[in-house]
A and B are shown apart, each in its own frame.
Chain A
Amino acid sequence: MKKINLTEYIQKTAQDVRLTTDERERMKRVLSEYVAMKPLRVAPLDRRAPLSYALISFYAFSRKSIAGILVAVLLFSGAGVSFAAENALPGDVLYPIKVQLNEPVVAALSVSQESKVLWNAERAERRLEEAALLASNGALTEAKKQELEDRFDRYAERVIAEVEQIEESNSSVAVDIASQFENKLLAHETILSDFEAGDNVKRLKENVRTRVERLAFVRERAGFTPPPASPVSASVAIADVPSVSTFTASESARALMTEATPQPAPLMKLETIDDEQLSIAASPVAEGPTLNPDIVKRIAHRVVDELKESKKLFDRYRVKMDVETGASVAEKIRLAETQIAEADAAFAAGDSSTAFEMYRNASASATKLTVAMKAFAKSKIRIVKPLNDGQHKTDDDATGSDIGTRIDDEHELDKTSSDSKRLSDD
């Protein structure tokens, strides 16, 4: 008898058991075909990538963090989650889906340059909405604020850069977009003013203000052909920061208008005019800058759309407003309509500069209403009340020295604060 190691033999028995060369090749061919038929869908994150690619690369990105749950949830409920994420705020589980999946997908689907710019503007705007909502809930932490500021800056910068690019080829589109975005930012700035106490959104508001000024500058530059050697350049600008030389022009224009230029009639006046903060002035005088009529037409169409949007929102949210607010919004809408009608008349009469300003004023009012109502809808503590501001004074103040309306920040801040206080007392 001899002793052998059994395990060694077990191993040896297996040595000649293997696939034949034919079998190996056959199986390999099958597997290669299978792999080719069902390729991996992983691709690097690309703004222009089609939907499925964005989806997969998002999985890859999130795998290490909230991965499992998110991916599973996404797989099982698909569009529902994507949709649900639309209302997510920074800090929410679904927020990354909103900003890293939903929004890039829309960006990727935007084909024309204009729609791309508008989408970037929308993204910047959304960050402001989110900041206001978080601040209203007292949930705007430093980290979230930082994130929102960064994102806002990124998209706002893109918009401005893109508008400047568009300006080279099509100035009326550039003016239109700059004007829209500017109005929206102004409206958001007003809303953010509510939360300025405690410096919570101060920096963000400053960022907004900077962008508003730059947009106003671009809009002005694109909209007007400066008259040669004219000492007075009629200016459409937000004149909050006198240190910026560009805007001193509007100060002088305003001075010229309020003191010397006779106005035909008190055309429209939605809000009180605060001399220190005069924002919009236009000079319809003959020697002033010439305005491209295309721009006026474009703005005219735009403002009609914007007002339509305001009306739609008003119809939807009217039931939630108190009587006073509802009446005020209705009145504002009516006034904006009058403004548009008068602007149409001015344009038909050949006064395109005046018409432009009227359209812009109506546009600012409509945008402000829209933004305020959206904020109202999203957060119970926000109301459209500040928009009432100055309403009762309109008739008294209609002395005819100025055309149009403006954004009265300080006034609204006071009003809104007291409203908030009243609400919290309730």
Chain B
Amino acid sequence: MKGNREEEFLAAYNEHSDALFRHAFFRLSDRERAYDLTQDTFIKAWDYVRAGGHVKTPKAFLFRVLNNLIIDEYRRSKSESLDKKLEDNPAIESMFAEGSVWEVEEEMDERDALAKVRGAIEALSEEYKTVVTLRYVEGFSPKEIASMLGSTENAVSVRIHRGVAKLKENLAT
């Protein structure tokens, strides 16, 4: 029983550490910090299990922990409040209709395109970056993201769409 829990924990590490690290990296744009927060995520998860906590879906749980750590990180490093950043840019609304299609020059090659997209993601504000990467990089459903962030599915869906729209805006400039 005891051994199983520890094995489960290390199995969860093997399975999810890359995804967590990637997510942290996208959010923070800092490899070192991403590494540290990934490690902290697992340590906190173990503390939780050890205190008698029950984890139903390890992946979602780990991302929730990581997300909280990232938010803490932001609070420490930036004085600007998250609420303020959540204010919408009205210009994005107009781009909603176009969906997630991105028009690029014919001659643009794959590598350039990817580099551009990455730059655009990094340029996204924190709240959009979070949901967009959780949704499209990690493949979580809006519902799962909502439970991780303590938000509603609707709000998350809207934020994802706006995030993609914002991303396109960034790519267009």
Contacts and interface: CB of A to CB of B under 8 A. Distances in A.
A5 B102 contact: yes
A35 B48 CA distance: 12
B10 interface: yes
B133 A14 contact: yes
A10 B132 contact: yes
Given A31-B10, A38-B50, A6 B1 contact: no
Given A9-B117, A10-B132, A1 B2 contact: no
A59 B106 CA distance: 64
Name the residue in B18, B39, B104, B117 with the highest tally of chain A Cβ atoms < 10 Å from its Cβ.
B117
B75 interface: no
Given A14-B22, A14-B133, A35-B6, A6 B168 contact: yes
Contacts of B17: 19, 24, 27
A89 B10 CA distance: 44
B113 A31 contact: no
Contacts of B18: 18-19, 24
Contacts of A11: 136-137
Interface in A28-52: 28, 30-32, 34-35, 38-44
B113 A30 contact: no
A1 B46 contact: no
A12 to B, nearest CB: 6
A307 B161 CA distance: 84
A23 interface: yes
B101 interface: yes
A17 interface: yes
B42 interface: yes
B30 interface: no
A6 B46 CA distance: 37
B43 A34 contact: yes
A115 to B, nearest CB: 31
A2 B113 CA distance: 12
Contacts of A14: 22, 26, 133, 137
Contact of A40 (B6, B102, B114, B171): B6
Interface in B33-79: 35, 38-39, 42-43, 46-47, 49-50, 52, 54
B105 interface: yes
A71 B46 contact: no
Contact of A63 (B49, B52, B113): B52
A13 B29 CA distance: 13
B85 interface: no
Contacts of A422: none
A23 B49 CA distance: 24
Contacts of A71: 52
Contacts of A28: 10, 13-14
B141 interface: no
Contact of A27 (B2, B35, B101): B35
A99 B59 CA distance: 39
Contacts of A40: 2, 5-6, 49-50
A4 interface: yes
A24 B121 CA distance: 25
Interface string B79-94: 0000000000000000
A247 B6 CA distance: 61
B167 interface: yes
Given A6-B164, A35-B6, A13 B38 contact: no
B25 A17 contact: yes
A355 to B, nearest CB: 57
B140 interface: no
Contacts of B35: 19, 23, 27
Interface of A: 1-7, 9-14, 17-19, 23-24, 27-28, 30-32, 34-35, 38-44, 56, 59-60, 63, 71
18 contacts: A3-B101, A5-B102, A6-B100, A6-B117, A6-B164, A17-B21, A18-B18, A18-B21, A18-B22, A24-B18, A27-B17, A30-B39, A31-B46, A38-B46, A40-B2, A42-B5, A43-B2, A44-B1
Given A6-B167, A11-B137, A27-B13, 11 more contacts: A2-B105, A4-B113, A6-B164, A9-B113, A10-B132, A11-B136, A13-B118, A31-B43, A31-B46, A38-B47, A56-B52
5 nearest CB pairs, A to B: A6-B102, A14-B137, A10-B136, A13-B118, A18-B18
